[in-house]
Amino acid sequence: MPTLAGIALFLLTLLGMEAFAYAMHRWVMHSRLGWLLHRSHHSERSGWFELNDLYAVVFAVPSVLLIYGGLSLGWGEWAVWVGAGVAAYGVVYFGFHDVIVHSRLAHRIVPRSPYFKRIVQAHKLHHVSEGREGAVSFGFIYAPPVDRLKRQLSSSGKAEVRAPRGPREDASTDRPAETV
């Protein structure tokens, strides 16, 4: 397979993974059965890991199999390029979602570009809903405009909107309390 064709297949796979991740997030992770693991991601985490992390392990299996099959089982170069595209999406997802949005690792990255801000805001809006129903924005590389997501959230009769987190007024002193 020509290198240029391999790179194109890699990039198509990387972009195609967004559609796959959207579908898995919306219709599997937010289903009754999928919520058994994914609920942990919508709840306060204690410790480094949450049950939802098992999805990353499950989604890594096809990538590993494709790369191994392409390199060692004679499946062809296409399998290596596709497996690498799946793995690259996983790396982008981890870096952006787990590190930047959810701060699972310490960092000093501040979203400044309009695209970067929109993706982060869209995911934060996804987490406004405590329950499995009524959530918005299930993708990660692409997110609809934030205003549209806010309208969807407010018009949804199914969303269980969580109480806001952040500075609260201290009733005894009329001073802002520390950030929660």
pLDDT tens per residue across all 180 residues of the chain: 999 999 999 999 999 999 999 999 999 999 999 999 999 998 888 888 999 999 999 999 999 999 999 999 999 999 999 999 999 999 999 998 999 888 889 999 999 999 999 999 999 999 888 788 888 999 988 999 999 998 988 887 665 555 555 554 444 444 444 444
Secondary structure of residue 44 in the 3-state scheme: coil
Specify the pLDDT at position 158: 64
Specify the pLDDT at position 167: 54
Specify the pLDDT at position 156: 75
Specify the pLDDT at position 48: 85
Nearest to 130 by CA among 50, 52, 35: 35
The ranges assigned to domains in the chain are 3-176
**Measured CA distances, 12 to 23, 54, 107 (Å):** 17, 25, 30
Structure tokens at 39: 């609920």
The string over 25-41, giving b where at least 16 C-beta atoms fall within 10 Å of a residue's C-beta and e elsewhere, is beeebbeeebbebbbbb
Q: Cα(56)–Cα(102) distance, rounded to whole angstroms?
A: 15
Structure tokens at 5: 């064709």
Residue 170 is inside which H or E element, if any? strand 169-170
Residues 6+ apart with CB under 8 A from 103: none
Q: Cα(21)–Cα(110) distance, rounded to whole angstroms?
A: 25
Specify the pLDDT at position 145: 92
